[in-house]
Amino acid sequence: MAGVLEGIRVLDFGRYIAGPYCGALLGDLGAEVIRIEKLDGSEDRWMTPVVPDKEGVTFLQMNRNKLGITLNPTKPAGREVVARLVKTADVVVANLPVDTLKDMGLDYETLSAINPRIILATTSMFGSEGPYAQRVGFDTIGQAMSGAMHLSGWGDRPVRTAAPYVDFSTAYLNTIGVLAALMERQKSGKGQKVETALIRSALNAFNTQHIEQQVIDANRTAIGNRAWTAGPSDCFKCQDGWIFAMALGQPLFVRWCKLMGEEAWLNDPRFKDDLQRGNNGEVLSARMQAWCGERTVAAALEALAAARIPAGPIYSPQQALDDPHVKDQKMFKQVEFPGAPRPVPYLDQAVKLSRSPLEIRHRPPLLGEHTDQVLEEIGYSKDEIAGLRKDRVV
């Protein structure tokens, strides 16, 4: 079945997550995505290797559904390759600093002069303007500067979130921007620049706390896994593992009190609303912990589900892979990769479309695997490609 973006060509100069995952999502939607990297392989290819002495987990996740070529775009002959590719492309993805974009000829002014219909999706830490524009950074810098790390943990020291949500949310915003630009191009016939920044993504994800702080001077402090404005909402230890359970809003709190046998708390001023329940969350968590401590994880979750109270087990990565619902719904697609001791489990169809589903069609490329194929498609002869290899252009 043809994907939504069949016929769209994407040149992916991205590294790590924010750019490459945008390319992966566009590829899942049916676009032809060409990953372009350094001759010896970009650094993100080798991080946290699971293929012995070769590809790592970040590369494997971000680069499914892509062709792979090597290229040095800083050499004149390399710039010519870029120009030929850009003439055939619809989108360029590049999460690189502003100066690097210009050095590689990937700034929007240069690209649009070659192809006025081109859409450039660019990401940096702080954006292209402002006092921090030249600084570099990663996901955790966004977590740190948004206030999220300050309010994570127990207050003795800041704590980062293990999942790189700033990078991924930036990739989602990149993808939304590209899709919007493609729609607008249908009207105007012109491309445009789509710009995201990790700091903007981080601030966006934590914006509720900024609103509360500025409007009422809340001055929140870290309180572990409890919620500031609800309760109970916390991690709880059962006899054979941990769960997380939460009661947000009055209907859930009523059901929780009945399950705990604490109906009298429904008239207790300490728990009259979510805000007060958050302020007195230690009491609610202690009661819930006593209840959980008498039960297995399965028994606790069964009782909470019957009471329609949101709860779930706290899993290790292996337990997440083994969960019966995850397996029943075939949430992971198993893809073989050369040299990997086991198949690579890809989350399949994070977004489900009923008539035009996203699809993982093929594994990530080996280093430079499709260089000859792509160059031949844009007019290079076999002798010319051999010359480019000899000169270390590809």
Query: Model confidence over 129-149: pLDDT tens digits?
Result: 999 998 999 999 999 999 999
Q: pLDDT value at position 252?
A: 98
pTM for the complete prediction? 0.94
pLDDT band at 103 (very low <50, low <70, confident <90, very high): confident
Q: Is the peptide bond before 232 cis (omega within 30 degrees of 0)?
A: yes
Asked: is 232-315 a CATH 3.30.1540.10 domain? The reply is yes
Burial class (CB in 10 A: 0-12, 13-18, 19+), 322: exposed
Q: pLDDT value at position 1?
A: 64
pLDDT tens, 228-256? Answer: 999 999 999 999 999 999 999 999 999 99
Q: Does pLDDT of 346 surpass 80?
A: yes
Q: Is residue 368 within 8 Å of residue 50, measured between CB atoms?
A: no
Domain locations in the chain as residue ranges: 9-205+331-391, 232-315
When the pLDDT of each residue in the chain is averaged and rounded to a whole number, the result is 96
Helices (H), 44-138: 57-62, 76-88, 98-103, 108-114
Average pLDDT of the segment spanning 95-113:
91
Query: Within 10 A of 366 (CB to CB), how many other CB atoms are there?
Result: 16
pLDDT band at 120 (very low <50, low <70, confident <90, very high): very high
Q: In what order do the strands lie in the sheet with 193-197?
A: 66-70, 32-37, 9-12, 91-94, 119-124, 193-197
Q: Which CATH class is domain 9-205+331-391?
A: alpha beta
pLDDT band at 24 (very low <50, low <70, confident <90, very high): very high
